Structure 1
Amino acid sequence: MLKLQENRYAVVDAYYPQAPVGFISEQSNVIARQILRTRRPFIAKITDSLGNELFRVRRPFWWITSSIFAEIDGKEIGVVHRRWHLWRRVYDLYLGNKQFAVVENPGFWNWTFTLKDIDGNVLAEIDRDWRGFGFELLTDAGQYVIRFGDVNPGSKTGPAKMIKDLEIGRPLRLAERAVAVALAVSLDNDYFSRHGGWGLPFLVVSE
């Protein structure tokens, strides 16, 4: 029987992909991992490259639809709720009690998840299986890029020039970006982490 391990990810900046700027490490019960698998409850720490905790994400056990919470110093700052749909992948993102974004992925083989506000303006984008910078040499797990947009094209250097600019309605605040990272962790567990192990880095494109 395959043993489900705790998920771990490296976080890298597209401008300097050689060295991780942070890590995401899951903490969960070994028995729950084997029995509940992708529905297991867990906490994941997001740390900088030195191991200092920045924030956490917490995902309780779920049956029909999943939720994941972003927390700083034990205080909940935001949440992502997955909304049930027969084939589409729909997620609602909240900061406190106020919804600031929705993701309505068409499903099937589309692995681009675009965050939009109530008026349909793009706020950020998460792509799965993005290939670049030779990361396929590091692991055979899935790759992700989180694009926050509003990049100054003139400041791009090296491999970062290959990333197409993302036009956004407004830049996300830091707390909203933490919720977006929580969404990325939830997406990986909802659709891709069937057996656990080391995931490939989230690629954060900064301004």
Structure 2
Amino acid sequence: MDLLRLRRSFVAYITDAMGNELYRVRRPFWWITSSIYVEIDGKEVGVVHRRWHLWRRIYDLYLGNEQFAVVENPGLWNWTFTLKDINGEVLAEIDRDWRGFGFEIQELEVARPLTLSERAVTLALAISLDNDYFSRHGGWGIPFIDVGE
């Protein structure tokens, strides 16, 4: 059944150029809302929780127990996911419509650069978004992440 296939668990291994594991992204099976975890050496360092909403796509991003960003996508045909801090300032943007570096160079005004750990959690969100929305709608592949620097 296709519906269950989209909710299946998976683990993605993020490696350096030599094949050494930097961290892993793990998403367990889910029914209504999903969570995706970032682990370094088997220890959870961050998580993305999807909040349930009938049509909007809302994600909360955490490092440990501290929330550092939220995504509140209006849904429907909007394929841009903007990460904002608790003050509403833009931190990064994930977009399905990326066509390549020559086409998409643009300035994104961000409040501050993301830390390495925040980037790892943001990549976990991008993997989750790709699995949930982009890949099943025509095989778009990993979406573009613009962090401003």
**Equivalents in 1 of 2:59, 2:114: separation in Å?**
17
Q: Do residues 130 (structure 1) and 94 (structure 2) align?
A: no
1:129 Cα shift? 2.3
1:38–1:193 Cα contact (<8 Å) kept: no
- Map 1:100-115 → 2, pairs under 5 A: 100-115=68-83
Q: How does 1:1-207 map to 2 (within 5 A)?
A: 36-133=4-101, 159=102, 163-194=105-136, 199=141, 202=144, 207=149
- Aligned AA (1:43): V
Unmatched tracts of structure 2, length 5 or more: none
Q: Residues 196 and 72 (structure 1 numbering): CA distance in 2 closer, same or farther, change over 3 Å?
A: farther
C-alpha displacement of 1:65: 0.5
Highest RCO, 1 vs 2 (Cα 8 Å, sep ≥ 6): 1
What number of residue pairs does the alignment pair up? 149
Q: Match of 2:113, SS? A: coil
Q: What RMSD, in angstroms, separates the aligned Cα atoms of the two structures?
A: 2.6
The gaps in structure 1 that reach 5 residues or longer are 1-32, 134-158
User: How far does residue 203 in structure 1 lie from its aligned partner after superposition?
Assistant: 6.0
| 1:62-82 alpha-carbon deviations (Å, 9 max, x no partner) | 000110001111110000000
Q: Deviations 1:104-135 (Å, cap 9, x if unpaired)?
A: 011111111000011100001111121124xx
Question: TM-score when scaled to structure 1?
Answer: 0.65
Contact 1:90 1:105 in 2 (8 A): yes
Larger radius of gyration: 1
Relative to structure 1, the CA distance from residue 51 to residue 41 in structure 2 (aligned partners, 3 Å threshold; closer, same or farther) is: same
User: TM-score by structure 2 length?
Assistant: 0.88
Residue 199 (structure 1) shift: 3.1
Q: Distance in 1 between matches of 2:44 and 2:78?
A: 31
Quote how far apart the aligned CAs of 1:191 are. Answer: 1.3
Q: What's the secondary structure of 2:38's corresponding residue?
A: strand
Query: In structure 1, what is the Cα distance between the partners aligned to 2:137 and 2:56?
Result: 23
Q: Percent identity?
A: 77
